[in-house]
Amino acid sequence: MTDSLKCEQIPYCALAAEYGTPLYIYSQQAMTAALNQYQQAFASLHPLICYAVKANGNLSILRHFARLGCGFDIVSGGELERVILAGGDTSKTIFSGVGKSSTEIEFALHNNIRCFNVESLAELARINTIAARLGKIAPISLRINPDVNAHTHPYISTGLKANKFGIAYQDAIAAYQLATTLPHLKVTGIDCHIGSQLTDLSPLIEALERMLLLVDKLAELNIELEHIDLGGGVGIVYQNEDVPDLAAYAAAVARLLSGRNLQLMLEPGRSLIGNAGGLLTTVEYIKQGEEKNFVIVDTAMNDLMRPSLYQAYHNILNVSTATTDEFVADVVGPICETGDFLAKDRTIAAKEGDLLLIQSAGAYASSMASNYNTRCRAAEVLVNGTDHYLIRRRETLSELLANEQSCLKSV
């Protein structure tokens, strides 16, 4: 986003006038620039950068990253279908997640994915059984839980003993030894992912150091790995965070991997798309309550869950030309929940009919949207310079209700 009133070269007001609100807007140039930062920082290591589809799985966004050479990190069969439809390379796709179904595993094997990031012994056995039935050898990597505190929100922390993700660090060697005995598995790597929105490099480096201790122990047991996957999780600026320096991160990784024949994989999601997107909303009412003021907008928690779910901060700008006096208010949506808020106690200048931009809404916004209160999902637009494209049209009520039917017969 290059101008507070424009996405690239297109005024926000023009986009809202053409497509309506709520409206997700993405900058293609910002996505490209974010990926370039990774590619330049890690250039000497030649990593496979796998965009985390869960952050935002719009087909046009996936297609853009695929054209730029990205692989993909998926967590469901549905996300694999998205990668395929977007022209992504399944041989550069890794399948993460704790609950892979038999159907999803079979689908992934038929489409020759790069590897499964396996998160339990039960999953190891299931993949081996399905691969045997299909006459295939399944490439697998074990996701190890390094028990490193990422110092992030507890809902997005994934690397502690109490979290559901990965195989316990102390059980890792035994798990690898078991994997090597299963005839339809090929052990290819090691993986970890300690959390999301990380603003400090030290947990990432600590996790890598702990992973490399395992790599060395495995080598002593003649279990040689081909790759190491450090996951994603690098944070972005929502408010005033000090985010990790990718060049410093890459230098530390290069130092630790020096002399090792391990391909590096990374799974960035939020850091590629988060700040490339925004959410436009229109002010419906200004309401003065007994204790608080409220700016009531046409966007709600079903469009942007992060503030309600994580108490997350998103900066909000008034992108209308006319200004009013500032006041303190909660910015809230129409949903019948007290938890339906987009900002609390925010100093804002707004009046009825104004257009507001909720910034940093590229990641975990549209991908987490729902139809709560029978609200139709918002449209999505991709901007590239002076061009803009509708990449998801606004859902209609007839579409929303199409799969429902009454089971009651009239009398």
Binding-site residue ranges: 233, 267-270, 306, 310, 337, 364
Whether 353 and 295 have beta carbons less than 8 Å apart is answered as no
Count CA atoms within 13 Å of residue 224 on its CB side.
5
Residues 6+ apart with CB under 8 A from 166: 119, 143, 144, 145, 158, 159, 192, 193
Whether 362 and 319 have beta carbons less than 8 Å apart is answered as no
Q: How far apart are CA 58 and CA 237, in angstroms?
A: 22
115 classed as catalytic: no
Four-point Cα dihedral 19, 24, 30, 36, nearest 10: -130
Residues 6+ apart with CB under 8 A from 252: 201, 205, 208
In angstroms, the Cα distances linking 191 to 37, 53, 213, 381 are 22, 17, 13, 34
Whether 73 and 395 have beta carbons less than 8 Å apart is answered as no
Whether 246 and 254 have beta carbons less than 8 Å apart is answered as no
Class of residue 407 by CB neighbours under 10 A (exposed 0-12, middle 13-18, buried 19+): exposed
Q: Which residues are annotated as a binding site for substrate?
A: 270, 306, 310, 337, 364
Whether 31 and 65 have beta carbons less than 8 Å apart is answered as yes
Q: Which residues are annotated as a binding site for pyridoxal 5'-phosphate?
A: 233, 267-270, 364
Q: How far apart are CA 245 and CA 251, in angstroms?
A: 10
Whether 201 and 233 have beta carbons less than 8 Å apart is answered as no
Structure tokens at 144: 């190890």
In angstroms, the Cα distances linking 232 to 73, 150, 255 are 10, 12, 19
- Which residue is catalytic, options 13, 50, 336, 376? 336
Structure tokens at 156: 């997005």
Which active-site residues does the annotation give? Answer: 336
